[in-house]
Chain A
Amino acid sequence: MATHLILQKIFKTGIVSEPAPQANLALRTREQELHADILKVFGQSVTIRHVDAGSCNGCELEIHAINGPHYNIEGMGVKFAASPRHVDVLLVTGPVSRNLEVALKRTYDATPEPKWVIAMGDCGCTGGMFGESYASCGKISNVIPVDVEVPGCPPTPIALLQGILAAVSQDKTSTSS
């Protein structure tokens, strides 16, 4: 019986989830112009939409990884959603290929304010090995505004989580409240 085996395996495995890392505020690229009360709400829960804007799929491996049991991101209030209309954060990978330039802009426009953009990976932060060319717009901030940059090829799950937490944490942000 599969149910019996499943329960046995679950009990034998136990809980592998680990405590959340600290936000890495050094990854912020700009002062976030948001009211403190909004941040307070976001600080407790944030919904993310991943957008592959031309990545080699290396960064995607680590986005999958943070959805695994070791990282327990939903326990930290972080959730991935299927539509940009439902999210607070766009997590964008890749150099932006010119074939996705319009799609990325439209996704950004479809995301309700207030919103943040996290550029993930060396290519997303600088253009990486692919740079700018006839087919590549280079880094994400060449196409849409970016709030947090998480370098790495690909960034480790911990680095990625630190970047996500930096985007939504309340420290040293508000300039307009």
Chain B
Amino acid sequence: MKIGEHDWNLDPLGNHIWRGRMEAGQLLALARAVKEAGGQLIALWGSDDRQLNDGYGIHAALLTGAGLAWVSCGLPAEAPAYPDLAHIFPQADRMQRATFDLLGIRATDAVDNRKWLRHKAWAEDEFPLRKDFSLLAAHRSPLAEVDAYPFIRVQGEGVHEIPVGPIHAGTIEPGHFRFSIIGERVLKLEQRLGYTHKGTEKRFEGMDINTGAKLAGRVSGDSHIAFAWAYCMAVETATTSTVPERAVWLRALFLEIERIANHLGDLGYLGNDVALSFGFMQFWRLKEEWLRLTAKLFGHRYLFDCIVPGGVAVDIRDSGKAELAAEADRIETEVRSLKAIYDDHATLQDRFANTGICKPDLAARLGLTGLAGRASAQAWDARAQFPQAPYDQLDVSMATQRRGDVLARAEVRFAEVYESLRLIRDLLQRLPAGALHAPLAPVSAVCEGLGWVEGWRGEVVVAVRIGADGKLDRVHPHDPSWQNWPLLEVGMLGNIVPDFPLINKSFNLSYSGQDL
């Protein structure tokens, strides 16, 4: 695989994914080459490989013009370390800190070595994802105190701090936001996340493959299908199993249903956050009707556990196809009429436009991705550029904007709702006949795979290693919120505190997906 001038020794795995191993020292050169060619770091994670090869592993997934480069480097068992990547890709910062908290693998020469996922639940010299860290022995007496965290202080006359969270005022997930402000204007926002860290990655260890799919779907509930599909894709790659064509098409149908449900909800909340409760009520009416039809056709409002390793668990009948297609038509008409109102509503436009701006050059430098990235001219959508089946037959049209403000993120959602409704009609019309499920090929040796799915929020990547006993050895699920949370800090600068809920909602990032 050629990146820039250099030909890197990476092998195609299918699905536009490339696989390679290298010395940790080479990682830096690869990262530089990817950066120079306009690519991005998507995910970085570690593993305890001492039972396999007497050491640890550091793994990265990098987005390039030719697809996703998945590289692994072996690290020594004593003082495992790899070169800092955050000075090339700033989005690596939190991933590196999490990798240290969980595995004790350090990024050499990193500027920021503060803890990230570790609060007080385990000690500084303990590393939960090491194989010799016992899951049960580690459950200790109740905690009495919250931990201290070294926030970066803004000092000067008139500056003060507003601490918010972890328990928030609305129905949202927990996290801590530290605003440094003058008057109402925000000088700095610093996030402290990790509150919902519930040991998801450790939970995967030793789990059977089918149960793993259920857990993967619960990494971030609002992206259930994206995670379940990426996990299954990884497992199917690892075991070199094939999935029936109809199952693959149904997976795409589910993914688009999930995208529409989330976008409708967000468009309603964006209206709500600028005091247009009409918008909330209308979009949530549509979302509820969409969820009810989903439950009627597939048995679950959010399609939980509808994707299983080897295929899908539910089918759609001809009558259901007609019903879903008719609902897609109806929703489109309704959304278009609501869009006309949003477009015409002076207060809404005033609040949306020029609020929470992430300019394209900054978005590129800091690795903004997915939906929010596309609203800041970061034109990446795996469904369009690196289409896996069935998207290779669907010709997805990518939605982009350049403004990088709340309005742009709303516009991308509108465009993606229309496109997903079109895709749903297309998928229904051309849905191939055949089986829903094929058994996975048996596992006889250690094997690994990677799944890559463009979820509604952005790319979801799941890396899986299966042990020789057929049980999961290491699973790393990656949510795009990892990259986008720091951009919310940037997008907030210079805005006023009361606009935070609006800006936050326009990104709508997952806490659980990054806290793991």
**Residues on A facing B (Cβ under 8 Å):** 1-2, 5-6, 9-10, 13, 16, 50-65, 67-70, 80, 82-84, 94-95, 97-103, 107, 128-137, 143, 153-154, 156
Contacts and interface: CB of A to CB of B under 8 A. Distances in A.
Contact of B338 (A9, A133, A143, A153): A9
Contact of A135 (B142, B174, B198): B198
B28 interface: no
A100 B166 contact: yes
Interface stretch (B87-95, B114-122, B237-245, B399-407): B114-122
A98 B121 contact: yes
A130 B199 contact: yes
B264 to A, nearest CB: 11
B: contact size bracket: 35 or more
A67 B287 CA distance: 12
Nearest to A10: B278
Interface in B310-339: 337-338
Contact of A70 (B200, B215, B288): B288
B142 A101 contact: yes
Contacts of B340: 5
- B interface, by DSSP: helix, strand, loop or mixed? loop
B287 A68 contact: yes
Contact of B284 (A5, A59, A65, A82): A65
A57 B138 contact: no
Shortest Cβ-Cβ A-B pairs, 9 listed: A58-B221, A134-B138, A135-B199, A68-B284, A98-B121, A82-B169, A56-B221, A2-B345, A2-B344
Contacts, number: 176
Contacts of B510: 57
A156 B292 CA distance: 10
Contacts of B172: 52, 60
B173 A57 contact: yes
B144 interface: yes
A134 B203 CA distance: 10
B220 A57 contact: yes
B139 A133 contact: yes
Contact of A58 (B119, B144, B295, B302): B302
Interface string B136-170: 10110011111000000000000000000011011
B173 A102 contact: no
12 contacts: A51-B167, A56-B218, A59-B221, A65-B288, A99-B196, A107-B167, A129-B203, A130-B218, A132-B139, A133-B136, A133-B198, A153-B304
Nearest to B516: A135
B202 A55 contact: no
Nearest to B342: A2
B251 interface: no
A134 B122 contact: yes
B304 A54 contact: no
Nearest to A84: B167
A103 B144 contact: no
A21 B350 CA distance: 40
A53 B265 CA distance: 22
A68 B195 CA distance: 28
B285 interface: yes
A69 B143 contact: no
Nearest to A134: B138
A129 B167 contact: no
Interface string B196-215: 11111011000000000011
Interface string B372-390: 0000000000000000000
A154 B217 CA distance: 12
A57 B301 CA distance: 14
B222 interface: yes
B484 interface: no
B171 A63 contact: yes
A134 B120 contact: no
Contact of A99 (B128, B197, B215): B197
B309 to A, nearest CB: 16
B197 A135 contact: yes
A61 B222 contact: yes
B15 interface: no
A100 B287 contact: no
Contacts of A132: 136, 139
A165 B180 CA distance: 42
Contacts of A80: 171
Candidate in A55, A63, A70, A135 with the most chain B CB atoms within 10 angstroms: A135
A122 to B, nearest CB: 10
B345 A135 contact: no
B173 A70 contact: no
B196 A69 contact: no
A58 B167 contact: no
Contact of B198 (A16, A67, A97): A97
B281 interface: yes
B341 interface: yes
B113 interface: no
B146 A83 contact: no
Contact of A94 (B133, B136, B196, B282): B196
